[in-house]
Each structure stands twice: as C-alpha cells, then as structure tokens.
Amino acid sequence: MTDLKPVPVPNADTQAFWDACNENRLLFQTCKDCGHTQFYPRAVCVSCESRNLKWHDSAKLGTVHSYTIVQRAPSPAFKADAPYLLALIDLDEGFRMMVNILNCPTDAASIGMKVHIVFEDREGQKVPQAAPLN
Amino acid sequence: MPKHAVISGVHNTKVGSVPDSTVMSLHSEAAFGALADAGLKLSDIDGVLCAYAITETYPMLSSAFCEYVGVAPNFNAGLHGGGATAAMMAMQAAALVRNGDCRHVLCVAGENRLTGMTRDKAVAALAEFGHPQFEQPYGVNIPAAYALVAQRYLHETGATLEHLAALAVLHRTHAAMHPDAHMTEAITLDDVANARTISDPLRLLDCCLISDGGAAFIVSASETAGDMKKSSPAILGTGQGHTHEHILAAPSLTSFGCKMSSATAFGKAGVTTSDIDVAEIYDSFTITLLIELESIGFYEKGEAGEAALRGELTHGGKMPCNTHGGLLSFGHSGAAGGMFHIVEAVRQLRGEADIRQVPDANLAFVHGDGGILSAHCSMILGNT
Ligand SMILES: [Zn+2]
C-alpha cells in the first residue's frame, strides 16, 4: 500500500482530457448530433447514441452543488489532509465533476459557493481541483 | 403455467460477530435453514442464485457454492447489484419459475465481513471505491458519497440532523426485538448527535454496521405451494430502476431510480403505498431510507423524518418499516444485508415475527438499492 494519492491513468476515452489538464486546460465533450454536454469523457453520447463527439475548453468556473467534510480518510494517502473538502461542482457549461475544494477552510464551504478550477500536480499528471473564486 | 412465484422458505443465521464462520459456512447454514423452513430437500432445488463476496473471492461464487454443498441445478448464476442484489434475485427467480425453467430456486448470500476481513483486503476494498479516474483521485469513500447526497437533501428540503437521528434510533429499537440482531443496546437522539462525524453531515450512527451473517430464501412455483410446510407469500410485483453507477454521474442527488422501480412494482401488483402493511426498505445510511421513503411515495419530499419522530414508522404507526432493525442495527454482511429485509417481510406476512409482528400484515413492500442509490429493485409480497 503506497502513501501516494491516486494518479489517474488515462485511457483511449480520456487521453485528450488528461493531456489538456497538463496544460492547465479543462476539457468537456458535446455531441455534434444533438448538442448534449457530458462529463466524464466517453466514446458515445449518452443522450442520442451518437459517436460524433467534440471537445471544448471550459472557462473553469463553477458552483458547489454539494460538499462534505471527510473526517475519516479512505486510505493512508489522504490521512494527513483530513478533515478535507470533497465536492460535486457544476461547471458553468453544464457538466458536473467531483473535486476537492482547496485553499478553503472546511467551515467556509457552502452549497452555491462559486469556485474556479485549479490544477494539482500528482507525479507529473495534473488533476483538476476547485478553489474559492475570491 | 403457474400464476405466481411464491417465497416458500426463508432463513437468516446469527448476525454480528460469528467466530469461525466462512463465506461458504454462512451460505450453507442459511441455505439449509431456508430448505428446512420450506420443508424441502436440497435435491428439490433446481435453480441457484448467489451474489458475490469479498472476504473469500471466487470467480464464480454461485458455482463454488453448488460445488460446496453438492447440488447440480438446471440454472445457476451470480448477480452483482450491490444492495439491490437480493431483491434482483427474487425478481430473476420469479421469472425462472413463471417461465417453467425451475420449480424451486434457492437464493443465498452470506459473508464474514466483520471477522473475516484481513487488513489488506479492507484497505484494498476501500481504495477501489469510486470511478478510477474521476472520483478515486479525490479521496472519496462510501460514507463521503452518501454525505454528498445528505448535504444536498438537507439543503433542498430543510430537513434536520434530528430527522436522520430519528431513523437511527428507530432501527435500534426494532433490532432489540430480534433475537439474531447485531446491535441491540438502546440509543437516543442525543447519542446519534454526539457520535463522531464520519463525513459531514453523517455521523457514526447514521452508517450501517459491518457484520458476519448469511441469509437465504427459496422462490417456488405457486403450483407447488400445496406441498409446503408453511404459507408462502406471493411475489405480486417487481421492478427495477437504474440511473448511474458513480455519484458524479447521478442525474439528481435527491431523486433516484427507486421512483421507477417502485412505480413498476406497484403497477404490476395493482396496489399503492396506502395498501402496504409493512415496509422493508434498504437502509445503508439513515439518509438512504429517508430519501427512499419519499421517492417511493410513502411520504412527500422532506416529510419522512418528521414522520419518524412522530412514531409513524414503528409498530402501531402508519407505516411500520424495517421491523428487524435493518442494516443500521440488525446487521449488514455484504449481499446478505439486503436479503435480511426479504426474510423479515416473509416472516411478517406469515405472522411469525413474534414481538415484532405487525398485526394483520398481508401486503409487504421490499426495496434494495446498490451503489450510491444507483441500482434499485422493488418488490411487493402478499398473502393470497
Ligand atoms: Zn447526442
């Protein structure tokens, strides 16, 4: 058991997304046939069965849909961070992500709080995280 | 062709700490208990459904179980629906007997989750939870995922932490009335409020137990019911609902697939929530049950907690619920956890629930959900 936090392993569906993260860009997909916006990246549109998907750059602005303060970390890697904020964020473009809220006291988080996406380096792979907008 | 599928036998093992138990010993004890309850022999069984286990891992648990006890059924399969698995087994078994493929389908689950987990296996199981790329990097675990649901639910409905606590107390009260329950020591609303927070707003007593235990039930063709030792409640309606696996992909944090699964089951049975005498509904966390009671239609959104505080969910109340004590206090041992709800429903319908008995219970609602309110299966059982 390693004490390192999990590093995402890109696959064919997600390689472009994770490559873009390393350039501090947040990508999401829309469907060329029906216009549906989706996250996480996949090879099929969940709305219309189309395989014609298009990548877009997000403005990286969003709102906290829900959050929790994790007191009991799931693994040794997260123990030092506990208590830490885990949240579901609605990006302005209309998709939802799971992130941690960084640079925010745990008692300052709230539903509806405005956040922006920042990037945290994990052994050479940047992962998207959130931070309070102001 | 038989008109109905019936449940002809049920059993649960002792639940809690069961020293020297194994996955297979719990499976076989539960299975033989259900056979005895039905008045059947193992050789009468021509269908077997098992779930999954993590303390002992088998690539094909259902085949391993058949090998272990010595049965060679016509139909044998494993189901993986998390907490919905037991109800899904009932739905699948009912289809098998209605289709004429089987006469008696044994559905069995059991696991020594409390005493049989090595530290390595426990750590690995925790680390594997969540989407590998889009959830695991953020330190999510099962209580945290349910806490995201709970936080949003409290925000939208104005429900309170006391409403969650009321459900924890309710289940402990019911478990104290069951001789096989894991946790029977009385708790108060204050005890729940003062328990340590696991993932805000969920506290230790908002979370289900980890137990050793097994359960089994037998689904039989109704034409065989005359051969049975006891009355066999009929499976009157079943339904499923599936919206996501990962909580980041859930279409809503306050409305889930239980809405569809229950609507289908009620529709097939031709009854409504107001006809139900007793409900056995999955309760992995207090928030799980609160949301399901409301999504299924027993209460309006945000009102189930007040109902619990008023005593409506216990004996003498409007909707006695989880009369065995549920996952929160009776016990939770893998796929057997959701099966305890089915076992209790059958005992209630047969009038065998001793001091827990709901008078004149003739129609029961059973519900299981797996994942993070991801996979749902509902069932109506009734005396015919
Ligand atoms: Zn589309």
Any chain B CB within 8 A of the CB of A70? yes
Interface A-B: count of C-beta contacts within 8 A: 113
**CA-based nearest distance B255→chain A, Å:** 14
From 3.40.50, 2.20.28, 1.10.10, 2.60.40, which CATH number describes the A11-57 domain?
2.20.28
CA distance, residue B161 to nearest chain A CA (Å): 14
| C-alpha of residue A93 to centroid of ligand 1, in Å | 16
Say how far apart CA B298 and CA B262 lie, in whole Å. 11
> Rounded to an integer, what distance in angstroms lies between the CA atom of residue B302 and that of residue B306?
8
Quote the Cα angle for B316-B163-B309, to 5°: 25
Query: Are A70 and B136 a contacting pair at CB < 8 A?
Result: no
Secondary structure class of B32 (helix, strand, coil): helix
Nearest alpha carbon to residue B233 among B245, B219, B246, B250: B219
Contact A9 B123 (CB under 8 A): no
Task: Calculate how close chain B gets to A69, using CA atoms only, in Å.
Answer: 5
Residues of chain A with CATH 2.40.50.840: 59-134
The amino acid at A81: D
Backbone angles phi, psi at B188, to 5 degrees: -115, 170
Spans of all domains in chain B: 6-116+209-382
pLDDT computed for residue B296 by the predictor: 97
pLDDT of res. B3: 66
Per the CB < 8 Å rule, is A86 touching B247? no
pLDDT, tens digit, 9 for 90 and up, residues A16-75: 999 999 999 999 999 999 999 999 999 999 999 999 999 999 999 999 999 999 999 888
CB contact under 8 A, B141 and A8: no
pLDDT of A18: 98
Q: Are B129 and B255 in contact (CB under 8 A)?
A: no
Per-residue pLDDT of chain B (384 residues; tens, 9 = 90+): 446 899 999 999 999 999 999 999 999 999 999 999 999 999 999 999 999 999 999 999 999 999 999 999 999 999 999 999 999 999 999 999 999 999 999 999 999 999 998 877 777 777 789 999 999 999 999 999 999 999 999 999 999 999 999 999 999 999 999 999 999 999 999 999 999 999 999 999 999 999 999 999 999 998 887 777 788 999 999 999 999 999 999 999 999 999 999 999 999 999 999 999 999 999 999 999 999 999 999 999 999 999 999 999 999 999 999 999 999 999 999 999 999 999 999 999 999 999 999 999 999 999 999 999 999 999 999 998
- CATH superfamily of this structure's domain B6-116+209-382: Thiolase/Chalcone synthase (3.40.47.10)
Confidence of residue A1 (pLDDT cuts 50, 70, 90): very low
Cα dihedral B70, B74, B78, B84 sign: negative
Chain B residue nearest residue A78, CA to CA? B139
Q: How far is the CA of B264 from the centre of ligand 1 (A)?
A: 28
pLDDT value, residue B384: 87
Q: Which residues of A touch B136 (CB under 8 A)?
A: 6
CA of A95 to the centre of ligand 1 (A): 15
Taking the CA of residue B152 and the nearest CA in chain A, the distance in Å comes to 5
The dotted CATH code for A59-134 is 2.40.50.840
B138–A99: do the CB atoms touch at under 8 Å? yes
Terminal Cα distance for chain A, rounded: 38
Region label for B302, one of left (φ > 0), alpha (ψ between -120 and 50) or beta (otherwise): left
Q: Which of B213, B265, B226 is nearest to B380 (CA)?
A: B265
Dist. CA A48 → ligand 1 center (Å)? 4
Which of A19, A65, A67, A98 would best serve as a mutation to test chain B binding (most B beta carbons within 10 A)? Answer: A98
- Give the total residue count for chain B: 384
Residue written as tokens 């076992």?
Answer: B343
| Candidate from B139, B200, B247 with C-beta closest to A78 | B139
Order of strands across the sheet that contains B104-112: B75-78, B47-50, B104-112, B212-221, B5-12, B234-242, B375-382, B363-370, B278-281
Closest CB to B139: pick one of A65, A66, A86. Answer: A86
Q: Is B238 helix (H, G, I), strand (E, B) or coil?
A: strand
Do residues A56 and A26 touch, judged by C-beta distance below 8 A? Answer: no
Beta B278-281 vs B75-78: how paired, if at all?
unpaired
User: Has the ipTM of the complex gone over 0.95?
Assistant: yes
Instruction: Say whether B133 and A40 touch across the interface (CB within 8 A).
Output: yes
